[in-house]
């Protein structure tokens, strides 16, 4: 059965990703009538965060292709109207590969288990059909208390991001959250350290002035050098004459003229600017500036992480949209759009025709007719549940690591490691997210970094369980393939502390975020991209701003929403029971009144 929705709106938004949600909130905030739909039963689309169970469902659902939209013949059209079917092909997730590196409770010795009662939580894939003998159990040692069953049982304690992103403390999103007063819906944790790989080991990058001066690996001369360089990036910016000779050169070429020592250069390039050999001088300076600008606002580093995951943030904007009257309906499919004389006039959803002034579409809901190019910035992701931190410290850390390519054909990888205090995982575990630009597939693209920092081999060869689903041709679903693959990658370890053991991993490829629309696309149809490759949300915020500006050029973008204390409710002056009379009529008045308010 389908819910019946009112069928006239100023703005219809389809998809609850980051950009869509910001636009929805902004339109609702200035009093526009907004309908916000999503075909999924959860918020966020490719920006979503799931608990372990929810993620399993999401993976399952990808295997079942969604029911395709209806045909033109089924739609009642008026004269000169055109119906364009929407497609989900621009949000296709590929090369999903989920692997367990541990065994089921049934395989474990009874003594090891704290939670002896086994529960009946749905055991989706790979039932425990293999047996293990005592020898193998011995080898399990430190991970023996973590079994597949236990992870499944504690599913609620996981918050797993499809597209994990950080916020720069003075980035676009933080400023927007504060200025719009949406910040009250979310909580954040400061990233506690920025790490870098130097001289064969991971070290913490000194971020603050105090850190720099307390650092023992950098000499006094180097400290002065570093401060000087940073100051010039910070104060003068990329347009300063300082960088005149480097307009078409790389950041590295500029740094080379500064006679920096290797350590200082390493910090600046790899940790602060997060640059590669190819990064232009301009970008490098801007990135350095952005990093430094955000220092000292909230924690030790310039970054914040949203509690419960990145998927919370689109929801904060949705909440604001709803508070200002936006109508929300999940599990509601968009079938197509009705075009009349190069203007988008309505959408068809189920049996309903819903008319609109502006249509804002997430990239998973585009009619192929309006797409000019599918984009190239595709994303490889790896998600790992591990048993310890990549860089163990005295307290729990939230770590960001930028790892530059080792070979010319590799892409730089961003690694974010989350601990239990972010609600990403239960006590005793860590969640590692890796992201890079796609070249082949997620597993291959990330392999060099996985092998560097993690131990991604089954604890017990019999325990390995792998399920490979994909929408396109991909790695053969052969167990041996995976094991061999792992063994190929020689151990170069002999470092102090052993690498974290991976208990579970998931690889996937997300679609490109730089889809382009045709010139002939109706001007009231606005595209919202999926997650991009950048570390932060600024791309989405800026895209939302420009969409809003093109819709309502003279209006304020998300002005501050009042605090509850500031709202004087009508009737407050004359308290007392006031419900006599025709409630229905009053109800109507109230709605009208509220609509006029803005």
Partner 1 sequence: MEDYKFLFKVVLVGNAGVGKTCLVRRFTQGLFPPGQGATIGVDFMIKTVEVENEKVKLQIWDTAGQERFRSITQSYYRSAHALILVYDISCQPTFDCLPDWLREIEEYASNKVLRILVGNKIDREDREIPTHVGEDFAQRHGMYFLETSAKEAENVERLFMEIAAELMEQARSKELPRYETNTTSINGKTTSIGDTSNCGCSRLS
Residues that bind partner 1 (CB under 8 A): 3, 5, 42-43, 51, 156, 174, 177-178, 181, 183-190, 297-299, 304, 307-308, 312, 315-316, 318-319, 322-325, 327-332, 421, 423, 561-562, 564-565, 567, 569-572, 575-579, 583, 586-595, 597
Q: What angle do CA 589, 593, 594 make, to 5 degrees?
A: 120
C-alpha–C-alpha distance, residues 506 and 508, integer Å: 7
Nearest to partner 1 of 200, 577 (CB atom):
577
Nearest to partner 1 of 232, 352 (CB atom):
352
Nearest to partner 1 of 130, 175 (CB atom):
175
Nearest to partner 1 of 71, 587 (CB atom):
587
C-alpha–C-alpha distance, residues 382 and 161, integer Å: 10
Contacts of 308 (CB under 8 A, 6+ apart): 49, 159, 422, 423
DSSP 4: -
Q: How far is the CB of 289 from partner 1 (least distance, A)?
A: 20
Q: How far is CA 85 from the centre of its chain?
A: 28
539 closest CA partner among 363, 385, 418, 307: 363
Q: How far is the CB of 39 from partner 1 (least distance, A)?
A: 12
Q: How far is the CB of 351 from partner 1 (least distance, A)?
A: 15
Nearest to partner 1 of 167, 263 (CB atom):
167
Tokens of 397: 């850390």
Half-sphere exposure of 148 toward its Cβ, with a 13 Å CA cutoff?
Answer: 27
Q: How far is the CB of 303 from partner 1 (least distance, A)?
A: 11
Q: How far is the CB of 574 from partner 1 (least distance, A)?
A: 9
Three-state secondary-structure class, residue 413 = strand
Query: Cα separations (Å) of 112 from 84, 93, 143?
Result: 59, 38, 10
Query: Cα separations (Å) of 491 from 145, 392, 401, 481, 573?
Result: 26, 20, 21, 18, 75
Residue 466 bridge partners (DSSP): 99
C-alpha–C-alpha distance, residues 307 and 254, integer Å: 38
Nearest to partner 1 of 3, 135 (CB atom):
3
Q: Is 249 exposed, middle or buried (0-12, 13-18, 19+ CB in 10 A)?
A: middle
Query: Cα separations (Å) of 379 from 273, 385, 454?
Result: 21, 20, 21
Q: How far is the CB of 105 from partner 1 (least distance, A)?
A: 21
Say if CB 334 and CB 14 are below 8 A apart.
Answer: yes
Q: How far is the CB of 487 from partner 1 (least distance, A)?
A: 40
Nearest to partner 1 of 187, 549 (CB atom):
187
Nearest to partner 1 of 43, 384 (CB atom):
43
Nearest to partner 1 of 97, 172 (CB atom):
172
Q: How far is the CB of 552 from partner 1 (least distance, A)?
A: 18
Nearest to partner 1 of 307, 462 (CB atom):
307
Query: Phi and psi dihedrals of 381, rounded to 5?
Result: -125, 145
Contacts of 531 (CB under 8 A, 6+ apart): 17, 18, 46, 47, 162, 163, 165, 379, 510, 513
Q: How far is the CB of 15 from partner 1 (least distance, A)?
A: 13
Nearest to partner 1 of 290, 319 (CB atom):
319
Cβ neighbours, 10 Å, residue 530: 27
C-alpha–C-alpha distance, residues 141 and 132, integer Å: 14
Residue 35 bridge partners (DSSP): 12, 327
Q: How far is the CB of 374 from partner 1 (least distance, A)?
A: 30
C-alpha radius of gyration, the chain, whole number: 26
Nearest to partner 1 of 245, 393 (CB atom):
393
Three-state secondary-structure class, residue 87 = strand
Q: How far is the CB of 567 from partner 1 (least distance, A)?
A: 6
Tokens of 496: 């102090």
Nearest to partner 1 of 171, 412 (CB atom):
171
Q: How far is the CB of 145 from partner 1 (least distance, A)?
A: 21
Three-state secondary-structure class, residue 98 = strand
C-alpha–C-alpha distance, residues 284 and 275, integer Å: 6
Q: How far is CA 508 from the centre of its chain?
A: 13
Nearest to partner 1 of 371, 558 (CB atom):
558
Q: How far is the CB of 179 from partner 1 (least distance, A)?
A: 10
Half-sphere exposure of 496 toward its Cβ, with a 13 Å CA cutoff?
Answer: 7
Q: How far is the CB of 583 from partner 1 (least distance, A)?
A: 5
Q: How far is CA 290 from the centre of its chain?
A: 20
C-alpha–C-alpha distance, residues 448 and 414, integer Å: 13
């Amino acid at each position: 059965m389908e819910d019946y929705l009112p069928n006239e709106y100023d703005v219809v938004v389809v998809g609850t990703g980051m950009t869509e949600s910001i636009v929805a909130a902004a339109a609702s905030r200035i009093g526009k009538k907004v309908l916000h739909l999503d075909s999924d039963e959860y918020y966020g689309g490719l920006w979503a965060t799931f608990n372990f169970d929810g993620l399993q469902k999401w993976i399952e659902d990808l295997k079942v292709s969604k029911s395709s939209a209806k045909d033109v013949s089924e739609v009642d059209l008026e004269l000169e109207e055109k119906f364009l079917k929407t497609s989900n092909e621009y949000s296709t997730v590929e090369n999903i590969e989920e692997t367990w590196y541990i065994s089921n409770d049934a395989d474990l010795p009874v003594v090891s288990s704290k939670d002896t009662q086994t529960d009946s939580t749905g055991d989706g894939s790979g039932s425990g059909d293999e047996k293990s003998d005592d020898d193998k159990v011995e080898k399990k040692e430190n991970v023996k208390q973590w079994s597949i069953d236990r992870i499944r049982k504690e599913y609620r304690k996981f918050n797993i991001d499809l597209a994990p992103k950080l916020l720069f403390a003075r980035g676009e999103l933080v400023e927007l959250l504060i200025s719009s007063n949406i910040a009250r819906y979310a909580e954040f944790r400061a990233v506690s350290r920025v790490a870098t790989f130097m001289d064969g080991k991971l070290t913490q990058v000194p971020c603050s002035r105090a850190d720099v001066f307390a650092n023992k690996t950098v000499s006094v001369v180097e400290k002065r050098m570093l401060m000087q360089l940073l100051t010039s990036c910070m104060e003068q910016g990329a347009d300063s004459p300082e960088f005149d000779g480097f307009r078409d050169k790389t950041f590295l070429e500029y740094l080379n003229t500064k006679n920096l020592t290797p350590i200082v250069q390493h910090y600046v390039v790899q940790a602060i600017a997060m640059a590669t050999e190819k990064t232009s001088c301009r970008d490098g300076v801007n990135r350095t500036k952005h990093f430094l600008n955000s220092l000292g606002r909230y924690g030790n580093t310039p970054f914040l992480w949203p509690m419960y995951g990145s998927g919370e943030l689109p929801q904060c904007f949705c909440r604001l949209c709803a508070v200002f009257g936006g109508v929300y309906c999940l599990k509601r499919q968009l079938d197509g759009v009705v075009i009349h004389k190069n203007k988008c006039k309505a959408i068809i959803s189920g049996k309903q025709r819903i008319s609109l002034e502006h249509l804002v579409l997430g990239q998973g809901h585009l009619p192929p007719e309006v797409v000019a190019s599918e984009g190239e910035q595709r994303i490889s992701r790896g998600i790992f549940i591990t048993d310890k931190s990549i860089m163990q410290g005295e307290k729990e850390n939230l770590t960001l690591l930028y790892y530059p390519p080792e070979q010319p054909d590799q892409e730089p990888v961003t690694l974010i490691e989350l601990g239990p205090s972010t609600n990403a995982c239960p006590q005793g575990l860590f969640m590692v997210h890796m992201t890079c630009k796609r070249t082949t597939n997620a597993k291959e693209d990330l392999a060099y970094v996985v092998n560097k920092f993690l131990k991604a081999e089954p604890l017990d060869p019999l325990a390995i369980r792998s399920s490979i689903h994909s929408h396109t041709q991909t790695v053969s679903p052969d167990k041996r393939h995976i094991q061999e693959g792992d063994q190929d990658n020689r151990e170069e370890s002999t470092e102090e502390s052993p690498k974290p053991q991976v208990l579970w991993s998931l690889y996937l490829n997300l679609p490109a975020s730089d889809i382009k629309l045709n010139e002939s696309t109706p001007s009231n149809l606005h595209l919202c991209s999926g997650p991009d490759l950048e570390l932060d949300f600024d791309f989405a915020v800026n895209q939302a701003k420009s969409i809003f500006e093109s819709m309502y050029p003279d209006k304020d973008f998300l002005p501050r929403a009042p605090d509850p204390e500031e709202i004087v409710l009508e009737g407050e002056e004359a308290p007392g029971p006031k419900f006599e009379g025709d409630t229905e009529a009053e109800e109507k008045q109230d709605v009208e009144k509220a609509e006029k308010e803005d």
